[in-house]
Chains A and B, each alone.
Chain A
Amino acid sequence: MAKVRGAIVVNTEVCKGCEVCLPVCEEKVISMSKEVNRKGYHFAYMSNPDACTGCTNCAIVCPDRAITVYRLKV
């Protein structure tokens, strides 16, 4: 079976730091940044990129559609 590697891109200006994506990530890929965006929110980022399976859970739950998921079969 082909393995899938994933990667997420967070639109940091849209992210409001609600952290809804954190508990749905089985692989614990996502953390909240120390920096803030223009509005002052801590945004989500890939703190553990190697573990991402591209499952898209985070993008599905994101209320602001701030997350884009890329998937690659390897």
Chain B
Amino acid sequence: MQFHQKVIMSELRLMKGNEALAEATIRAGADAYFGYPITPQSEIIEYLMTERPENRTGMIVLQAESEIAAINMVYGAASTGKRAMTSSSSPGISLKLEGISYLAGAELPAVIVNVSRGGPGLGTIQPSQADYFQSVKGGGHGDYQLYVLAPASVQEMADFVSDAFDIAFKYRAPVLILSDGLIGQMMEKVVLKDHKDRMPDEEIIEKYGDWATTGKKGRERNIVTSLDLQSEKMEARVHRLQKKYEQMEKEDLRYEEIQCDDAEYLFVAYGSSARIAQKAVQLGRAKGIKIGLLRPITLFPFPKQPLFELANQVKGILSVELSAGQMVEDVQLAVNGKVPVEHFGRTGGIIHTPEEILEALEQKIMQDGSK
């Protein structure tokens, strides 16, 4: 089939985080998007609908009747070896969790985007990072993990889409892009990459193996399921999943160290909080406090080893997140009591200022440390 694909090279645009992610999805050669609108991520489905990607690359965009329908459509598309994506915001992701657990259980590659908002419940439509536990501590049922990418800029909203698809297919596992209302709604310049073609079945089989239900042509049938009533088989499946997660930790851990070389104090922050904490690092250094920032880019796998090593060097660590204190638990586990670890964060859709973060460091860590 021929599509009227415009030859678009990489280009510089001013875009909203949500729009950049949507455009990058078309350019990443995705086959399908199934979604349901919810603020603050509605621009993703709005942009995809307006762009008519079915004319550009042949990509399907469909507004499902609910979030639950959308995630199960992703399950269906992924079963056929197609690159499928869905997106939502916190309450919608809660609805999708059953499907996400099934994707993980059936070892299907898919990309799920959470542009999170304040909770619990319907909460607020303002930004929040209170879905950390939901994203990295299971969320759905069973022994599974998601590979979780946390973009901190509009550029990363765009870049992480094709990375996410690559990881999802490498491991045959669902990948979550955990953004928030701040990055999703923020406008920034973004360099969009060139178009990648959608992969035909033959290429997917060659690259990732013959596991999908692409039509049984003289081979044994492929069965995609998360059900194994024989305990031994189910345990083997769980072990296989755990092996994947270990491999992710070895090969695909991502993090960024900002001004950590001479740091005496450390912020740990991801996503939008990392952007704000970066300013707090500058403010602190202007006052003569040597602060560094460790930004986990993948929340699972979590950069335990780099944190453990930095704990030998710094006097105290402040975990900064737009939540009541979730990632701080993983920081404490990684640091294992070597230095004091405290949490700072605003909730309910309020965004902390760099000054507030610096003040929290001075009050919670520096004063305690001098006792």
Contacts and interface: CB of A to CB of B under 8 A. Distances in A.
A40 B349 CA distance: 14
A9 interface: no
A41 B39 contact: yes
Given A18-B185, A39-B125, A41-B125, A64 B39 contact: no
Q: Give the most central of B16, B39, B40: most A CB within 10 Å.
A: B39
Interface in A33-71: 39-41, 63-64
A63 B125 contact: no
B51 to A, nearest CB: 17
A40 B125 CA distance: 7
A37 to B, nearest CB: 10
Interface in A9-46: 16, 18, 39-41
A40 B39 contact: yes
Contacts of B40: 16, 39
Interface string B40-67: 1010000000000000000000000000
A14 to B, nearest CB: 10
Nearest to B42: A39
A16 B16 CA distance: 11
Interface residues of A toward B: which range?
under 10
B42 A64 contact: no
Contact of B186 (A39, A40, A41, A63): A63
Contacts of B185: 16, 18
Given A16-B185, A18-B185, A63-B187, A39 B16 contact: no
Nearest to A36: B125
A11 to B, nearest CB: 14
B42 to A, nearest CB: 6
Interface in B182-197: 185-187
A41 B42 CA distance: 13
A64 B125 contact: no
A41 B185 CA distance: 12
A41 B125 CA distance: 8
Contacts of A40: 39, 125
A23 B40 CA distance: 24
Contacts of B39: 39-41
Given A41-B39, A63-B187, A64-B187, 12 more contacts: A16-B40, A16-B185, A18-B185, A39-B39, A39-B40, A39-B42, A39-B125, A40-B39, A40-B125, A41-B125, A63-B186, A64-B16
15 contacts: A16-B40, A16-B185, A18-B185, A39-B39, A39-B40, A39-B42, A39-B125, A40-B39, A40-B125, A41-B39, A41-B125, A63-B186, A63-B187, A64-B16, A64-B187
| For the complex of A and B, 7 pairs with smallest distance between CB atoms | A63-B187, A39-B39, A40-B125, A40-B39, A16-B185, A39-B42, A64-B187
